[in-house]
Amino acid sequence: MKRIEIEIMRSSNALNAAIEIWHKSETGKPVTPRISFGSIKDLFSAITEKRLELLRYVAEQKEVLNIRQLAQALGRDYKNVHTDVGGLEELGLIQKDEKGVLTVPYDEIVIHAGLTEAA
């Protein structure tokens, strides 16, 4: 199962986390891909309920989908779906090939939001 971890992290902790991942990758140990946000507000701005619904739909499909087909299947406006796909593509959560075919590279998204600084 391919998974990605999304976390809320203070900027003061980001450098240490990046160094830890770098050292881990140098030893050849597998590294789980991660996306970090500075606040829960930033996370919810980037990964909205509609975007999560879009990801789930694409991940479940066996047939080839492009943005127009996705918008139609979800009953959403093409422009809004196009914007959402672009945002998710920037995060690496959705991929579009040269023909515009959409795929989701992960089977699971795990979100970590610690309540204390030590978390």
The predicted structure's pLDDT at residue 11: 65
16 inside domain: yes
| Alpha carbons 111 and 58: distance in angstroms, whole number | 20
| CA within 13 Å, CB half, 70 | 30
The answer to whether residue 84 is domain-embedded is yes
Question: How much is the pLDDT for 27?
Answer: 80
Report yes or no on 20 lying in a domain.
yes
- Size of the chain in residues: 119
Tell me, yes or no, whether 117 lies in a domain: no
Residue 118, in any domain of the structure: no
Q: Which domain range does residue 74 map to?
A: 3-112
- Find the CATH number of the domain harbouring 15: 1.10.10.10
Residue 34 phi/psi, 5-degree rounding, is -135, 150
> What residue ranges of the chain have pLDDT lower than 70?
11-15, 17-18, 21, 116-119
Q: What is the DSSP letter of 55?
A: H
**Residue type present at position 15:** L
Residue 99 maps to a domain: yes
**Overall domain count for the chain:** 1
Does residue 101 contact residue 64 with C-beta atoms inside 8 Å? yes
At 13 the pLDDT is: 67
* pLDDT value at residue 43: 93
In a domain, 94, yes or no: yes
Q: Does residue 59 lie within any of the structural domains?
A: yes
Task: Answer yes or no: are the C-beta atoms of 80 and 119 closer than 8 Å.
Answer: no
Tell me the C-alpha to C-alpha distance, in Å, between residue 108 and each of 30, 32, 94, 104: 16, 11, 12, 10
